[in-house]
Structure 1
Amino acid sequence: MVDFSSVRAIDMHIHAEEPCGCHADDGYDDLQRSMAEYFGAPWRHPPTIPETAAHYRAHNIAAVIFPVDAERETGYRRYDNYEVADLVAAHSDILIPFASIDPAKGKLGAREARDLVENHNVQGFKFHPTMQGFFPNDRMAWPLYEAIAETGKPALFHTGQTGVGSGMRGGNGMRLKYSNPLYLDDVAVDFPDMPIILAHPSFPWQEEALAVAQHKPNVYIDLSGWSPKYFPPLLVRYANTLLKDKMLFGSDWPMIAPEKWLDAFDKAEFRDEVRPLILKENAMRLLGVS
């Protein structure tokens, strides 16, 4: 288990990728190359879970890690949640497992969610409406949300436009409309005890994200997918004041390295008393380890 008292920070947003050669050529490699070019990522092939763990261990940063189940919408084979959980278990000193389930799987997905929490130490769930092709307030997703809410674990939702499919023909078929954070307001109303994380500065819907997080007690924001040097002033202002207890450090590894994000964070206009909240304390409280 992670020694939360000794790590310097908790990265709430990193991606698990299958080792190269372990999946068919279904187009996913092209997406990864396009994203790496967009973000200026230095790697030739996405790092494996053990490589990711080694990187985070070397920097003394704990991290929430997850796959994305978008095979129905994209055709990309998903990285199986059970395989990810087993690999992460071997690195539980530094990695915290989340899972991802397409909400279109209904009761089947709900059963998987319960089993992952009860028997495989999964600590939360990741949704990517743009890649999964659904509006978060579509009641089709309610059986899965109900199962997650029963477990008390957080649900993390991609919001805004963060470079996925950017510049590819037709945006690689991905529709930005699904990731407007305002749709999460309905989810927060109907599942008021389920912690909800709005992932990323929510361009071009930043004000909507701030409004939902301020209005709903169970809604948080992670700051992944953007370098802090590009954060809009309004986001920084809310992070320093009204939402200081709801902001979370996230990098979006492997597209953005945590040490690169932290270096930019050091130079950004965050108050000294707010920095430890964003880097670790808010995440500890959200994960129930404070």
Structure 2
Amino acid sequence: MIIDAWGQHPTLRHSQDPVFDSLRRWTKEPAPEKAIPIETTLASLDQAGVDVMLTNAWYAPHNVLISNDEVAEFVTASNGKLLGIAGGDYAKPMDAIREISRAVTELGFKGVRIIPWLWEVPPTDRRFYPIYALCCELGVPFCTQIGHTGPLMPSEPGRPLYLDQVALDFPELKIVAGHIGYPWTEEAIAVATKHENVFIDTSAYTASRYPPELVRYMQGHGRHKIMFGTNYPMMTAAKALAGLDTLGLDDEAKALFLGGNAQRIFGIG
């Protein structure tokens, strides 16, 4: 099984939001004028042999780019290829708790994602702590971004070391840190090694661009800690997986990376 641990089937609001303008330097694509059809996303997954993509809701201050209900619609239309990751208005923690609880218990979502740079605060911010407690109660992972930001927003909230404190305060909480953590990849590996329930996904990077220290970790004692991700639609799965066979992963490490770890952590049958 191949599972993409970080993607989003975007709404047109999400695709056109100015916060992503800087990313177009890399994709060399203009802002779309029409929403991406669900068929395009599913075809992209099929092309790379991806069985499931975890697709995110996006809640930013004063703006909902992809709502939980829109994610639920995409999931329903995907015939099992998409699974939801919830979000909420973290400026209103009680509202966020109610909304995320609904998304998990009623809509069947598999986790919660908080993008700290959107809120310009680190993951240790007090507003997020009730969400972490809720994740523990619901038994779902907390997903986040680590490393510098492509959007022109502060990168400091993406320092992996902030997750050390979160993991100390919530040892039961499963934390999935996306985007490798560059330029602090060694820091991310140190936090994942220290804490049983901290994991890393490789979204936003092609296999040929994984830092050497991450590849060594995947080959050895970190093989149960790293999972595949794309950050679709910024990157397709086919592009993200190009060069995978050059990494020197044995069969066990490759299977865990491509799907086994995500299957276990997110409870995907």
What TM-score, normalized to structure 2? Answer: 0.90
Q: Which of 244, 264, 267 does residue 285 from structure 1 map onto?
A: 264
Is the alpha carbon distance of 1:130 and 1:71 closer, same or farther for their aligned partners in structure 2, counting shifts above 3 Å? same
Aligned to 1:79: 66
Residue matched to 1:243: 222
In the TM superposition, residue 215 of structure 1 has moved relative to its aligned partner by: 0.6
User: What is the alpha-carbon root mean square deviation over aligned residues?
Assistant: 2.3
For 2:185 and 2:47, the matched residues in 1 are separated by 33
> Alignment partner of 2:92: what SS?
helix
Structure 1 residue identity aligned to 2:58: V
- Judged with a 3 Å threshold, the aligned counterparts in structure 2 of structure 1 residues 230 and 27 are, in CA distance, closer, same or farther, namely closer
Count of residues in Structure 1 that have an aligned counterpart in Structure 2: 267
1:257 aligns with one of 233, 236, 241 = 236
Contact 1:11 1:63 in 2 (8 A): yes
- Are residue 209 (structure 1) and residue 188 (structure 2) matched? yes
- d(CA) in 2 for partners of 1:44, 1:285: 36
Match of 1:17 in 2: 10
Q: Distance in 1 between matches of 2:237 and 2:137?
A: 32
Distance in 2 between residues matched to 1:240 and 1:249, nearest whole Å: 14
Shift of residue 246, structure 1, vs aligned partner: 0.9
Moved over 4 A (4+): 40-46
Native 8 Å contact 1:17 1:48 kept in 2 = no
Name structure 2 gaps, 5 residues minimum. none
CA distance in 1 between counterparts of 2:85 and 2:38 reads 13
Residues 249 and 50 of structure 1: CA distance in aligned 2, closer, same or farther (over 3 Å): same
Q: Is the 8 A contact 1:229 1:264 kept in 2?
A: yes
Aligned equivalent of 1:38, options 18, 26, 33:
26
TM norm structure 1: 0.84
Which whole-Å CA distance do the structure 2 matches of 1:48 and 1:159 have between them?
A: 29
Alpha-carbon spacing, 1:138–1:124, altered in 2? closer, same or farther (3 Å): same
Shift of 1:203: 1.3
Which of these residues, 60, 64, 73, is aligned with residue 54 of structure 2? Answer: 64
Q: Is there any run of 5+ residues in structure 1 with no aligned partner, and where?
A: 1-6, 166-170
1:141-290 map, 5 Å: 141-163=128-150, 165=151, 171=152, 174-289=153-268
Q: Structure 1 residues 143, 235: CA separation in 2 closer, same or farther (over 3 Å shift)? A: same
The share of aligned pairs that are identical, in percent, is: 31
Among 55, 58, 61, the alignment partner of 2:44 is 55
Deviation, 1:55, is: 2.4
Q: Is the 8 A contact 2:112 2:143 kept in 1?
A: yes
Write the deviation string for residues 6-38 of structure 1: whole angstroms up to 9, x where unpaired: x4x11101023113xxx4xx9944444431332
Distance, in Å, in 1 between the alignment partners of 2:57 and 2:104 is 15
SS at match of 2:65: coil
Question: Secondary structure at the residue paired with 1:96?
Answer: strand
